[in-house]
Structure 1
Amino acid sequence: MKHVVLSCALAATVFSSLHAQRHKPVNPAPAKDTTHLPPVPAPRQGPKPYKDVVTAKAVTHKGLFTVHQVDDKWYFELPDSMFNRDIMAITRYSKTPGGGGVYGGELVNQQTIEWEKGPANTVFMRVITLVNMADSTSSIYKAVTNSNLNPIAAAFDIKAVSADSAGVVIDVTDFFKGDNQAVSLSPNAKRRLNVSALSSDRSYIDYIHTYPINTEVKTVKTFSATASAGFSLFGPSQPPLPAASAIGAITMELNTSFILLPKQPMQRRFADARVGFFADDYTVYGDDQQKVQNQVFIVRWRLEPKPEDVARWEKGELVEPQKPIVYYIDPATPKQWRKYLVQGVNDWQQAFEKAGFKNAVMAKEWPDSAGMSTEDARFSMIRYFASDIENAYGPNVHDPRSGEIIESHIGWYHNVMKLVHDWYMIQAAAVDPAARKMKFDDELMGQLIRFVSSHEIGHTLGLRHNWGSSSTIPVEMLRNKAWLDVHGHTPSIMDYARFNYVAQPEDHIPQADLFPHIGEYDRWAIQWGYTSTHTATPEADRKIVNRWIVDSLAANPRLWFGAETHPTDARSQNEDLGDDAMKASAYGIKNLQRILAQLPVWTSEEADTYTNLKDMYTQLTGQFSRYMGHVLKNVGGINETPKSVEQGGNVYEPTPKAKQKEAVAFLNKQLFETPFWLLDKNVLNKFSNPADAERVAAIQTNTLKGLLSAARINSMLTGSERFGVAQTYTAAEMLDDAKKGVWSELSSKKPVEMYRRNLQKAYIAALVELAKTDADNSDFVIVLGRSGAAGSNTNAASSDASSLARAQLAALRTEINAAMPGFTDKMTRYHLQDIADRIKKALDPSH
């Protein structure tokens, strides 16, 4: 009552004051212009009756989310049971603008989201960023949750309460029509395509379909786009899009799949560096810890027996899984290649039998069933892209809580066929007549497709590249038919050990043994990753699977895994074969020489203007360059063999001294002595202008720079200190051996031909750079990983590398001056005098 009296009194006072002012002569205030002010938002209204929102006009479909369409409005009806559940939101391109380097079916975004009831009749969509975790029963759980708040990606008014009062209805129209990052392009994708604002008048929802465990949303979005090159982390990534140049906009179709994740995550299996699986991780906190634990766990499919087969499965009998891994072949795939893609998938069935499951993985052609969509993330696909990219890739989408793979869409670019053609011709044509033409027969191309299919499927099963696998095979066994019939030329199809380039024509190796196949490492890795230990916790599981690794590697060294991330280990290389790069490369060079001699004939096609010859010569010199790289990695190499404490021996050991010394001798003989066989004038004069950059000279120079780099020499200096000079090839020995090879004319007195003169100048430039004593003389290596960039400075000026380089230069200048009178060739004398002057200036810049 007091409030009412006070209010009345206040009103009376104000009225009296205003009444008194009427008698004062005042100028009236100008009227306020409200034309450009934003409209005042209408007051928020609470939920309406269900029938007023989901009207009789509604078209309703029930599924993961019940979806209602009322005229041009779309509503989700969310049951209370759906709140606070983990849901994957997977967004893919459905259709894309031409020239963008992205294709319908490719992943553009993925998030884990959850619905949450907010205050004032709202529903929030949160994006879950899983970084840290704690058991909800522990005391530290509250501290973890206080420091890991998930962002709210969107807020929705509750339009109505469900008819049964067990859920709510929200309007999702504007959310999906708009540019909301959780279900649209990521910032990186926008930068790559150089797009900016969404044009809402040219964007709309095409459809929303819902199914028992997923809901699919197809949208059409138009963005403003600039007609200039897009950018990525490393700079310009692609030319401007034709549509952007034409009208300043691009239109694309996106499909977002919402998939409900299991309420109870699959039990994790901890990753191990001795078996090559992709992995995820998060930090775990617990009350009983004395240090924080970062748990890294492998990515794999959930394979479980049918309930009626559990007892048989636990006894070790083969059973079929409740839910097999099925890949569908994109209906856009040319028909003649489909069966080979299917075979590449089905080849993995043998591996899963080692893990206790039959018919665990298979491929099927896409059925013409109503209600199925190739964008539906319930279905794993091999998507076929009309693209000139020479590649294929095998990703997967997994539950970040456990590593359980949810689905995979393999990307298959049409022009991967050119890639495998060129590989096979250059690596196998010396021994396989079928490889000696520019268009292979369908059966050969089909088998090449099958091999690539198996490799990419391996990735989607969780397997990483095993670049060390082929190093476990003695080189001479690669020429042995009996060995190859049983073991193949590499134990793993996940290696980059393309084709058997070591085999010689006289070995009579059949075509099947030139191909990689799913091997003993692959079968073992699947067995390790997918066999159940029937334990209750990941910690108990780890003890058992560790024992599997220790026992298996002791019994069969061919099961060794060599990661892509061993930068100094010569055993872990891509595109190589065998346990000795020098022997394997020597055999490979013999075959390249045979192929080059026939290349003009094998590449000939009617009306071709030597484009084929140029392309294949480029491939051949590229293969030669790879051989040089394989050999070079031995010099200063450090072998890295991950071990657990149950295994004997060291993790780090130097590449054997004799092998390192042999590598430098090989480079001196095969490369630094000019490989004139590669400079066949009958070939080069058909397509190569002498004014163009010379490929052979570039290979020589780049390899020499790599040999004399500060990083390699500092590694050798440190290795000698760690392992002892008796066990290592020292940097001083390497520099002496390289000098003898590159400057052999000083003792032989042969004229120095042009390629050698250029190489010797490159040698001096590399040593002069190494000899600098300023702080800027360093190699800086960037290594990108999950946690960002790690830098490694190898500063020659602050190590013995610069001292060694200066000593080498001084000794070389003395040798040049002593040898110069013995040369009569003018260009050789001019060259040597120039070199002597360069060295003098480098060692004493004041003169």
Structure 2
Amino acid sequence: MKRIFVATALFASVSAFAQQRDSVPTRPNGGIPNIAGLGGFGARGGGAPTAAPKPFKEVITEKAISKKGLFTVHKVEDKYYFEIKDSLLGREILAVTRFVKVPSGAGYGGEIANQQTLTFEKGPSNTIFLRVVTLVSTADSTNDIYKAVTNSNINSIAQSFPIAAFSKDSTGSVIDVTDFFKGDNLPVSINANVKRRYSLSALASDRSFIQKISTYPINTEIKTVKTFSAQAGGGFGAAPSPFPSASLPAASQSGAVTIELNTSLLLLPKSPMAHRVADKRVGYFTDDFVKYSDEQQQVENKEFAIRWRLEPKEGDYDKWLKGELVEPKKPIIYYIDPATPKQWRKYLILGINDWQKAFEKAGFKNAIMGKEWPENDTTMSLEDARYSVVRYFASDIENAYGPNVHDPRSGEILESHIGWYHNVMKLVHDWYMIQTAAVDPRARSMKFSDELMGDLIRFVSSHEVGHTLGLRHNMGSSSKTPVEKLRDKAWVEANGHTASIMDYARFNYVAQPEDNISKEGLYPRIGDYDLWAIKWGYGFIPGATDEDQKKASSKMIIDAYKANPRTWFGTYESGNPADPRAQSEDLSDNAVKASEYGIKNLQRILPKLPEWTYEEADLQENIAEIYTQLLGQFRRYMGHVTKNIGGITETFKSVDEKGDVYEVVPKAYQKEAVSFLNKQLFQTPKWLIAKDIWNKFNNPITLDPLANAQESTLASLLSTDRLNRMQICLERYGADKAYNAMELLNDVQSDLFSELTSKKPIDEYRRLLQKSYVEKLASIINPKTEGPSIIIAAARGGFGIAPVDLKRSDVPAIVRAQLVSLRSKVVAAAPTTTDTMSKIHLLDLEQAIKNALDPK
């Protein structure tokens, strides 16, 4: 009988709405946990033999309270026993540990604390071993290489349990699990990295206990309370949001931290779901394993998409293949946390249900739905691994995230607990006000109507649900919308301003007041890409083998893009960081024009801020916050345009498609981008200098808001990374196509120092910029550190990221020539400059350039 050896490690897909959040490690270390203080439950098998099992009735007495499920659970006074059927031995079980209740400053109930894949097996001397599955290699047992794979891979034995008794019918074993779940055992406790962030140390066994154990047909749920010793000043430290960074008050006040946990032991399917071979042209989270076979001349990395198991009901498979809409055997259901304020529940549900039209493209009706949690049903638990839930957190974090828990062998999503932070409403409020208040009167206040806020919650809900369906961010989607279509009322209201809800393309900031565009043309929505991506992930793809499926999938992707370019997927998160099409918060195929329209709207909004932010008794906090948001939006526009300078596009293609994967952004457009920066930013944008507003919240001795925006963009523009990249592109693509570093510096310098010829006074902002320009060029020819000083992106295809030594680059020579030229112009202009401040500035600049060219 042919057997396939498959051993895999757990991978947790977690994506954020406002930002990507860290999760538990994607590959558990599989180490043997610290089992001190477990009442004799040390690792067995090599030591003294265990006591012989007792008769069943002597262990599971008449006092026992027994419940049948995945494991039959027996509670005998203060002890808990698992009765494990022999048929479950060797079966893979997913252990998902979540926080239920946590102390202040330590995260939120519902978040994942740990994930492991486990198996139980018979050990020697009447024991049951618990192994942690960590291997990622496969081989067909009919191949000779199968022996090499099995010889090179073994899963750690994390725990050994003496068999207390055999089942009444001798088809299973009874083990005492009390001390195991009460103790601090890694497979079913807090992940080691998380404990380090908390500064948690020894478990206090006298203050740790099992609250209850419930068991169901495919899962067993263990709720525990664990108390750890903790050092004052502990916490998540510098861990990124949404992990809090403050110390834990409990640790400071008592030297201990008590946490309530729930561990779900979820039986993985005996027959894993069929793989959907991944393709980087469709944005799904993926998992993988390494496959070995005798016929190979190199090993294969099998990468597959993470998705729910959606199959037609019995008898409907042929209808589904014919294109008829059918219902799935098991629909995808998300429940709304009963802690959610009632007025927002319907909008969260609408955001979930919006995906139904996408699943219809894949051939399924009633495939996905949101429901309110049945609060009167005491048989259901929010921590139960069988249920997917939108968990509502009372938090000031402006965020939401959409993770999933999946079968590491196949990518089958088993459940999801979306994290929804209460203060995400502030995030969407500020975005919507700054991006649309010029065209939507509803956005002109500090508190939106429930209807408007509900609409914004709905779109965030759809985005996060998309992640839990397996979809990654599609940051490039918005680049497939022509900029002028964003002002075309009929078109944008029919199609949306971006082709994907999975993009970070919040609201249509290009629309102008005279366009009269309604909310349908302002909000994000599930678009053409999303419909296509769900069809690809959940629809039928023919192929008897992975290779056949891969070929059929590739043809489908090519045909889909030819029929509708809005099905394109692009991202900077795992792709080329220099591709300007894949940016967050941007819109359209033309960043210059889109940003020009966006600036016009900001110029309309700024004078109205005192009126629109007014709330009685407000201590200028509203106007400070919203002006900061407005300036942040302006800075985004500068960043969107800057990304095109030295930009390299990356369009994944199979060998069956024409054209190059890597192309340089057209030279003319790069020069247009530099002209935009010169005009909109480096020529002092006086409209942003709102001193009447600044005087309400900005102390003059603090950082100047506008100067900081100018400085950061100039630093990005003159980065050695960009200048090197431009020179590399010059060599590859030629001077007619590639905009090179010398041309960039000439264009920036001629405008930035235009006062040298115009003889106009140099204002304070221009003086600061000119000084900064010289300082940045000086740092390139006189670097503070020796050796390689820059990292550039090399061609993908095996070469990866390569360090480049500036001493071996043309950039320092180009920069030196620019400074020599600039010095001569400064020297010539200084004597004829009549403005006193401008004259002494130029004299100072001349000396700075001289020092840079001839450092002593």
Note if contact 1:192-1:237 (Cα within 8 Å) is conserved in structure 2. Answer: no
Paired position in structure 2 for 1:264: 271
Letter in 2 for 1:181: L
Match of 1:78, SS?
Answer: strand
SS of equivalent to 1:685: helix
Q: Is the 8 A contact 2:792 2:804 kept in 1?
A: no
Please give the secondary structure, in 2, of the residue aligned with 1:394: strand
After superposition, the Cα gap between the structure-2 partners of 1:646 and 1:510, relative to the gap in structure 1 and judged at 3 Å, is same
User: 2:153 corresponds to which residue?
Assistant: 148
> Can you list the C-alpha shifts for 1:87-126, whole angstroms capped at 9, x where unaligned?
10001001111122x1000111111111011111111111
Partner of residue 726 from structure 2, selected from 697, 712, 716: 716
Q: Deviations over 1:226-251 (max 9, x none)?
A: 11143568699712111111111111
> 1:70 aligns to what?
76
Aligned in 2, Cα 1:799/1:148: closer, same or farther, shift over 3 Å?
A: same
Matched, 1:444 2:444: no
- Corresponding residue to 1:463 among 461, 471, 479: 471
Please give the secondary structure, in 1, of the residue aligned with 2:184: coil
Provide the residue aligned with 1:670 in structure 2. Answer: 680
Q: Of residues 80, 87, 103 in structure 2, which corresponds to 1:81?
A: 87
Cα deviation code 1:788-814 (max 9, x no counterpart): x98653432320111111111111111
AA in 1 matched with 2:66: T
Q: Does 1:90 align with 2:96?
A: yes
Contact residue 67 and residue 215 of structure 2 kept, 8 A: yes
Counterpart for residue 378 of structure 1: 386
Q: Distance in 2 between matches of 1:192 and 1:258?
A: 25
Q: Is the Cα contact below 8 Å between 1:267 and 1:538 reproduced in 2?
A: no
Cα pair distance change 1:703/1:498, threshold 3 Å: same
Partner of 1:9: none
Q: What secondary structure, in the 3-state scheme, does the structure 2 residue paired with 1:163 have? A: coil
- The residue number in structure 1 matching 2:597 is 587
> Aligned equivalents of 2:790 and 2:826: distance in 1?
33
For residue 433 of structure 1, what is the aligned residue in structure 2? 441
1:199 to 2:209 alignment: no
**Runs of 4+ more than 4 Å apart:** 38-43, 231-237, 777-783, 789-792
Contact 1:87/1:114 (CA < 8 Å) preserved in 2? yes
Partner of residue 643, structure 1: 653
1:369 to 374, 377, 385: 377
Aligned-residue offset at 1:521: 0.6
**Counterpart in 1 of 2:717?**
707
- Cα deviation 1:216-272 (Å, max 9, x = unaligned): 000000111111143568699712111111111111100000111111111111111
TM-score (norm. length: structure 1)? 0.93
Q: Distance in 2 between matches of 1:740 and 1:106?
A: 55
State how far apart, in whole Å, the 1-side matches of 2:826 and 2:510 are: 40
Segment drifting more, 38-47 vs 155-164: 38-47
Q: 2:694 aligns with which of 684, 695, 705?
A: 684
Q: Does 1:599 align with 2:609?
A: yes
Report if the CA contact (8 A) 2:572-2:579 is conserved: no
Q: Give the residue type in structure 2 aligned to 1:406.
A: L
Q: Matched residues, percent identical?
A: 61
**How many residues in Structure 1 have an aligned counterpart in Structure 2?**
803
Answer yes or no: is the 8 Å Cα contact 1:392–1:412 preserved in 2.
yes
Question: C-alpha offsets along residues 693-741 of structure 1, whole Å, 9 cap, x if unaligned?
Answer: 1121111111101111110011001011111111111111011001112
Determine if contact 2:724/2:792 at 8 Å carries over to the other structure.
Answer: no
Q: Secondary structure at the match of 1:478?
A: helix
User: Structure 1 residues 250-259 or 133-142, which shifts more?
Assistant: 133-142
Matched, 1:51 2:57: yes
2:421 alignment partner in structure 1: 413
Q: How does 1:469-618 map to 2 (within 5 A)?
A: 469-565=477-573, 566-618=576-628
Tell me: higher relative CO, structure 1 or 2? Use CA pairs within 8 A at least 6 residues apart.
2
CA-based RMSD: 1.8
- Asked whether the equivalents of residues 542 and 548 of structure 2 are also in contact (C-alpha less than 8 Å), the reply is no
Match of 2:66 in 1: 60
Residue 333 in structure 1 maps to residue 343 in structure 2: no
Comparing 138-147 with 87-96, greater Cα deviation is found at 138-147
Residue 130 of structure 1 deviates from its aligned partner by 3.3
Distance 1:782 1:55 in 2: 70
- CA-to-partner distance for each residue in 1:655-677, whole Å, 9 max, x for gaps? 01111001111111111111121
Residue 543 of structure 2 contacts residue 552 of structure 2 at CA under 8 Å; is this kept in 1? no
Which secondary structure state, in structure 1, belongs to the residue aligned with residue 315 of structure 2?
helix
Match of 1:109 in 2: 114
Native 8 Å contact 1:772 1:797 kept in 2: no
Task: Kindly indicate whether residue 231 of structure 2 is the aligned counterpart of residue 220 of structure 1.
Answer: no
1:209 aligns with 2:219: no
Give the counterpart letter for 2:562 in structure 1. Answer: A
Residue by residue, what CA displacement relative to the aligned partner does 1:332-358 show, whole Å, maximum 9, x if unpaired? 000000000000000000000000100
Structure 2 residue 820 is the aligned partner of structure 1 residue 810: yes
Look up the equivalent residue of 1:245 and give its one-letter code: S
Alpha-carbon distance between aligned partners in 1 of 2:366 and 2:784, rounded to the nearest angstrom:
64
Letter in 1 for 2:159: A
Corresponding residue of 1:29? none
Q: Is the 8 A contact 1:780 1:791 kept in 2?
A: no
User: Could you tell me how far 1:137 is from its partner in structure 2?
Assistant: 2.5
Partner residue of 2:320 out of 303, 313, 322 = 313
Larger Rg: 1
Equivalent residue for 1:356, pick from 341, 351, 363: 363
Q: Which amino acid aligns with 2:490?
A: A
| Counterpart in the other structure of 2:310 | 303
Instruction: Assess if the C-alpha contact under 8 Å between 2:99 and 2:111 holds in 1.
Output: yes
Kindly indicate whether the alpha-carbon contact (under 8 Å) linking 2:239 and 2:245 is maintained by their aligned counterparts in 1: no
2:753 is aligned to 743
Structure 1 residue runs without a partner (length 5+)? 1-37, 784-788
CA contact (8 A) 2:494 2:521 kept: no
